[in-house]
Amino acid sequence: MPLSPAEVQRIARLARIELSEAELAQALIQLNGIFDLIAEMQAVDTEGTEPMSHAQDLVLRLRPDGVAQADQRAEFQAIAPAVENGLYLVPKVIE
Amino acid sequence: MHNATLAELSQALRAHRVSSVELTRLFLERAQRLNGALNAFITLDPERSLAQAAAADRRIAAGQAGALTGIPIAHKDIFCCKGWLTSCGSRMLSNFVAPYDAHVVERLHQAGLVTLGKTNMDEFAMGSSTETSFYGPARNPWDSAAVPGGSSGGSACAVAARLAPAATGTDTGGSIRQPAAHCGISGLKPTYGLVSRYGMVAFASSLDQGGPMAKSAADLAWLLGAMAGFDARDSTSLERPAQDYARELEAPLKGRRIGLPKEYFGAGLETDVRRAVEAAVDQYRALGCEVVDISLPNTRLCIPVYYVLAPAEASSNLARYDGVRYGFRAPEYADLEEMYVKTRAQGFGAEVKRRILVGTYVLSHGYYDAYYLKAQKVRRLIAQDFARAFERCDLILGPTAPSVAFDLGAKSDDPVQMYLSDIYTVSVNLAGLPGLSIPCGFGAGGRPVGLQMVGNYFQEARMLNAAHQYQLATDWHVRMPPGVE
């Protein structure tokens, strides 16, 4: 079932990526090509198969609830696009 | 000197026949001279490299040197190196100077290796040709009309052209093995979890694994020991005792059972590659191995499964690039929403956007079960194929890629064709197994052919042993690209 332009537009909106008309048209063709490739997997019988989310069966570790890292705020803020008084600046969202 | 093995460099440094500063200067000079044509490096910073080399020389003088102290190494630009531009081949991180070291970089630095520079790569490691790099494609040193493979194409190119004695790479679907094959070098993707992902820019977290790229299997063994190790900051890092991966290099191969998956020798495999790989299998027979036919029946499903799971994980991982805390921000926008969508539209290249869109779709409401969950179930079937195969053999051999390196531009407009070049490598990542590629001859146009070897979990030492024994009996790995003396 091929994707429609409206669906591609919706995905782009969810992914927060602006697409021009030309990019949308190209994305439509290429995504449909990719989903044709993916379709082959649908015919496989996976009844009773456990999904495999990771290569190893791991149990997430816990660590003591203590300070684990030194303060690096200044270093991290030094590479931010816009900061003021220790805060990251973005366009106003509440008037 | 630029063609020496790591063991030879180590001896020369310890015997004071050469200093780390001299060695680093030699490789920097080569890199600066040849990078214009090859585009293997995104960043060279001689001052920083030479300061590290001088520190290594002081360690050697003080008798505090390890085996690798003073040897230069190039890092794929996906690894955070404190104070170095870490672009991941993307405009999105084209201004990102890492404020910390990746665990791998930290470990190699502790071992005394010198950072020689940051190598070119496909944007966010998404590609098989290094053509999606924001910094332009790297070239194949064997033929400038050919791609070096990808995504760790810059690292493979640098090692092949002897601009660096060794390099780091990362492999999500073949990104160490395929460029190693295309550039005629050796590369290893370890068992998932052996090498920490901390400070390695995330692409698909359940598949990403760092590993070494070098001229020989023996060099890989030395490097893996320095790179691998538990790291609490990576939730999937494995707690395993340290080991010497070179310990079995000299063991004879007599009686070792080698499995040949029939699916890896079927339609789609180019004749020149088949011929070189079959000759390599004959060499293993001559070394005393027993060859058995095996089957990995779900091989054809690897690409569909990979191109659901990897984009899904990527779309989630790359959601962090919003122009707020670091990296690129679009210059013009009216409000917050527009800042996000324009930053991501301008900061990401076409292939990255394509994968984010695919990933967003397969994770979206109503499609999750049909795509993502389905792919995870088929992933298990693929892993089970390998488990069954390893009941009948110790190692699996086959081609690394279906053809020799293709021409620049040949597949860049056709994502599906590009994806199919990963056909023999992605299954290894899906199963989490270790895989390596070593040179085994030349095909069309004099371009190198890679032999892929897959082992069972944690069998790196035995795989490196098998690769090393092959390299003792053959000389493909010491051949150099034309013009590289």
* Secondary structure in 3-state letters for B386-410: HHHHCCCCCEEEEECCCCCCCECCC
C-alpha to C-alpha distance for B475 and B478, rounded to whole angstroms? 6
Q: Write out chain B residues lying below 8 Å of A51, CB-based.
A: 373, 376-377, 379-380
Distance separating alpha carbons of residues B181 and B400, to the nearest angstrom: 7
CA B62 centroid distance within chain: 34
Q: Which residues face B115 on adjacent strands?
A: B73
CB nearest A38 (choices: B193, B304, B431) = B304
Tokens 């002081």 belong to which residue? B58
Whether this prediction's pTM lies above 0.90 is answered by yes
Instruction: Give residues 2 to 21 of A whose Cβ lies within 8 Å of B.
Output: 3, 7-8, 11-12, 14-19
Q: What angle do CA B351, B354, B356 make, to 5 degrees?
A: 110
Q: Which residues pair with B292 in a beta bridge?
A: B259
Chain A partners of B300 at a C-beta cutoff of 8 Å? 40
Residue B272 half-sphere exposure, CB side, CA atoms within 13 Å? 14
Of A34, A56, A75, the CB nearest to B238: A56
Q: Looking at the partner chain, which of A51, A80, A92 has a beta carbon nearest the beta carbon of B377?
A: A51
Residues of B in contact with A82 (CB under 8 A): 329
Distance CA(B214)–CA(A48), nearest Å, equals 43
Helix (H) or strand (E) holding B176: none
Q: What backbone torsions phi and psi does residue B248 show, to the nearest 5 degrees? A: -105, 10
Q: Chain B within 8 Å of A59 (Cβ-Cβ)? A: no
End-to-end CA distance of chain A: 44
Cβ separation of B304 and A60 shorter than 8 Å?
no
Task: Report yes or no: A83 at the B interface, CB cutoff 8 Å.
Answer: no
Is position B175 annotated as part of the catalytic site? yes
Which one of A14, A36, A52 makes the best mutation probe of the B interface by having the most chain B beta carbons within 10 Å? A52
* ipTM here: 0.95
Any bridge partners for residue B189, and if so which?
B435
Residues from chain B contacting residue A40 (CB–CB below 8 Å): 300-301, 304
Q: Does A53 sit within 8 Å of B236, measured CB to CB?
A: no
Which pLDDT tens digit goes with each residue over B100-155? 999 999 999 999 999 999 999 999 999 999 999 999 999 999 999 999 999 999 99
Asked if the bond preceding B151 is cis, omega within 30° of 0, the reply is: yes
Q: Residue B394 to residues A53, B276, B451: CA-CA distances in angstroms?
A: 26, 21, 16
B196 is catalytic: no
Whether residue B304 contacts residue B271, with contact meaning beta carbons closer than 8 Å, is answered with no
B168 within 8 A of A17, measured Cβ to Cβ: no
d(CA B26, CA B71): 12
pLDDT digits (tens, 9 = 90+) for B2-48: 999 999 999 999 999 999 999 999 999 999 999 999 999 999 999 99
List, as ranges, residues 26-55 from A with C-beta within 8 Å of B. 27, 30-31, 33-42, 44, 46, 49-55
Residue A74 has pLDDT above 70, yes or no: yes
Tokens 């893996």 sit at which residue? B224
Per-residue pLDDT of chain B (485 residues; tens, 9 = 90+): 899 999 999 999 999 999 999 999 999 999 999 999 999 999 999 999 999 999 999 999 999 999 999 999 999 999 999 999 999 999 999 999 999 999 999 999 999 999 999 999 999 999 999 999 999 999 999 999 999 999 999 999 999 999 999 999 999 999 999 999 999 999 999 999 999 999 999 999 999 999 999 999 999 999 999 999 999 999 999 999 999 999 999 999 999 999 999 999 998 999 999 999 999 999 999 999 999 999 999 999 999 999 999 999 999 999 999 999 999 999 999 999 999 999 999 999 999 999 999 999 999 999 999 999 999 999 999 999 999 999 999 999 999 999 999 999 999 888 888 999 899 999 999 999 999 999 999 999 999 999 999 999 999 999 999 999 999 999 999 999 998 87
| Region of residue B304 (phi > 0: left; psi between -120 and 50: alpha; otherwise: beta) | alpha
Total CB pairs under 8 A between chain A and B: 161
Contact B107, B363 (CB under 8 A): no
In chain A, residues with a C-beta closer than 8 Å to the C-beta of B430 are 55
Q: Give the model's confidence band at A61: pLDDT under 50 very low, under 70 low, under 90 confident, else very high.
A: confident
CA distance B454 to B444: 25
Model confidence at A2, in pLDDT bands (50, 70, 90)?
confident
Q: Which SS3 state, helix, strand or coil, does residue B419 take?
A: helix
Shortest Cα–Cα distance, B252 to chain A (Å): 31
- Tell me whether the omega of the peptide bond preceding residue B94 falls within 30 degrees of 0, making it cis: no
Catalytic residue among B49, B76, B133, B437: B76
**Does residue B342 carry a catalytic annotation?**
no
